[in-house]
Amino acid sequence: MSFEKQFQFISYLAVFCGFFALWISGTFGILGTILFIGALIAAWNIEGSRGQISERLGTTLVVLSLPFYYLLWRFGIVDFGTGDDVLPGILARLILTLAAIKLLQKKSDRDWMFLFLMAFFEVLLAAGLSISIGYMAAFVLFVFVMAGAIIAFQIRKTERLTLESSTVEMNRPKDVSNSALPTRRLFAVSAALILLISVTALPIFFLLPRVSGAGLGSNLDPVSTSSGFSESVKLGGFGRIQQNDAIVMRVRIENEPPDSIHWRGVALDTFDGQSWTRSKVALREPRTKNERDLIQVDSVRSQEGLTLQTVYLEPLDTNVIFGLYRMVGIQGNFPVLHRDAAGAVTYQRTSAERISYKVLSDTLTPPVVRLRSDTSPYPGDLDNYLQLPSTLDRRIKDLSLEIAGDSLNRYDTAVAIERYLQTQFGYSLEQTPSGNDPLSDFLFNVREGHCEYFATAMAIMLRTQGIAARVVNGFQRGEYNDTADVFVVRQRNAHSWVEVYFPETESWITFDPTPSAGQNNVASFAGITDQVRKYMEALETFWIQYFVAFDNQEQRSLFASVRRGFSEYQTDISSGWEAFQAEIVAWWKRVRGDEGLRSSVSSIGVGALILLLAALSLLLFVWLYRKIVKLKVWALLWDRFYARPNASAVEFYQRLQRILAGKGLVRLPHQTPLEFANSIGINEVIQVTEKYNQVRFGERDLESEESDEIESWLRRVEKK
């Protein structure tokens, strides 16, 4: 492939990489993709022919593009999105249009630089529209290809300027476009350049923290929660709940996880027969950071049950903080948090954004024996957790009495109702219970439903028995990804359960009456496809943790890990050295005969053997070093990877000169290499010199067979 074709190829590839980064964001559909790819293929086929549009026409089309897209948006001819998506949608299509126009026209150096600039803007715009792992791959590919394109562009420009300024016509090649570009060296230089930039930039990257959700990646579409988490519950709807696999959050539990994992969101206390709501929404306590950069939202009862979680939350249309119950401390980029009377924690959300935070939860629960013995009366401020709708079906209370049976305490009553609902009812995503009293329809007619029906039934049945209970909305544990060590929680993991109050220990205990069919507590990574998905999710988790959500909190965690690892490394070295010293002392005692003559002889033999092996190893190392120096391995490797194409010619001719000089034959200053060879009269010397002239002045590389042939000639000259 000629120089010009190679330059065009890598330049077109750079333009495509910019388009690919933007395509991953999903900003435009199939039609836009087909049009741009078609323009790219057409431009490649007509490159350098009469089919290219003129520079004047190209400039005119570029100028008309801006009002053209304005009119498309103004009159709604093309759907560019809504809200914050409109401007990125217009910019993406405008940039691609400008790039397509430039591709189709005759291109000067200025036009190529324009195309490179458009590709860069495409990658920059894509960073604000997508921060998935796919964008990372596209970005790495773009950087590598663009580095090669810029280098090739500079080589092309420098060569042309050199030829234009040359005054010696006979030294000018007849066809510059046929000279080959050293592709291997071009990519090697590109890789070295990127490596140098990466080594310089990475420390800066990890020293400068980002703010989670800030920057171009903040204005993202929130995940729809219509079939997932909600801050209220409404029974009696029609249709089917959709199982959405969109990821809601990724959670890493830093220490031993509890047996039951529920990511708590909000607790609901008021039921009107069809809907659950919060009665004290306005009563929110503001909580601010303390001197340890921690926002304390509740008191710590015991150090034993503290569980630390790191949460990477996707954009949701809610401002609820999720975590294990009971959350006592939260660390993140929040100026202030609000906690309501039921323990739900919220933050001030200005726009849909990804956030990351750490939650410290007190997950220790009182022993069952103590819960069973709890017969203390409820305080007066818990009346809202005993509230019942005025139109409640009498049969619900009778059923609760029947299920409770001989239970004499709150805990056994709750367990009995929980077990009854889990075993006597079916789980279904169909929202079939309906009417003015959907709860009665669920319990006495349909006898199947989803988690909201089960949680509602248990809470109301407990309240009929004078037991304080509330419904909680949040998420189940999700799928555990052991590669990333995170729980991947999706929309389909949205869940409702029940919390029951025990006044003696002042604790709310979790009960989940939903049948096992509605609880996905087992990871589903099975088979090759799921294994691939697991590793991709692990890679995406790494990307989000260290690139997207790498705020000052993550920075502190990273520095703490590095410091801890360095400390452990120092400890290991110190322990190893101490163990080595102890072993030497013990060996010397055995040599002295402290453990008998046989032990002394054995120890002396072991010491002599170790000394012999060490001496042999040293001799082997010295022999290898001398061999490498003699064979000039490093020089050969350097010439192989970094020398110029005709450097081998200089090298083998210099070897010939050294061999001849050892025989007393030295070329005089006035002699050309070939005159010197003919004066010696050795056939092999003449053949090596002719090859030297062909490579040195004929501007061609040696074939592997020719190199072997030259090597044999040099050996013959050495022997003569």
Tokens encoding 325: 């119950």
The contacts of residue 57 (CB under 8 Å, 6+ apart) are 105
Residue 519, pLDDT above cutoff 70: yes
Beta strand 426-427 with 448-449 is: parallel
Report the percent of the chain where pLDDT is more than 70: 79
Integer CA distances (angstroms), 708 to 8, 639, 682, in order: 36, 16, 19
Report the percent of the chain where pLDDT is more than 90: 29
Domain coordinates in residue numbering, the chain = 3-208, 233-545, 590-630, 633-719
Specify the pLDDT at position 170. Answer: 43
Mean pLDDT of 337-365: 87
Residue 226, pLDDT above cutoff 70: no
Mean pLDDT of 504-523: 84
In angstroms, the CA 457 to CA 58 distance is 70
For residue range 392-440, what is the model confidence (pLDDT) as tens digits?
A: 999 999 999 999 988 889 999 999 999 999 999 999 887 777 788 999 9
Residue 296, pLDDT above cutoff 90: yes
3-state secondary structure at position 114: helix
Q: What is the DSSP letter of 178?
A: G
Mean pLDDT of 614-632: 83
**DSSP E strands, 189-344:** 233-234, 247-253, 262-268, 270-271, 275-277, 284-288, 295-296, 306-313, 320-321, 327-332, 336-340
Give the largest CA-CA distance in the chain.
Answer: 124
- Cis peptide bond N-terminal to 326, omega within 30: yes
Q: Which long-range contacts (CB under 8 A, 24 or more apart) does 189-197 make?
A: 189/151, 190/144, 190/147, 190/148, 190/151, 191/144, 193/147, 193/151, 194/143, 194/144, 194/147
The contacts of residue 137 (CB under 8 Å, 6+ apart) are none
Task: Tell me the average pLDDT of the chain.
Answer: 81
pLDDT band at 526 (very low <50, low <70, confident <90, very high): low
pLDDT band at 350 (very low <50, low <70, confident <90, very high): low
Instruction: Tell me the whole-structure pTM to 2 decimals.
Output: 0.60
Mean pLDDT of 16-35: 83
In angstroms, the CA 204 to CA 106 distance is 41
Helix and strand numbers, DSSP H then E, in the chain: 20, 20
Specify the pLDDT at position 720. Answer: 78
pLDDT band at 43 (very low <50, low <70, confident <90, very high): very high
Rounded to 5 degrees, φ, ψ at 481 are -100, 105
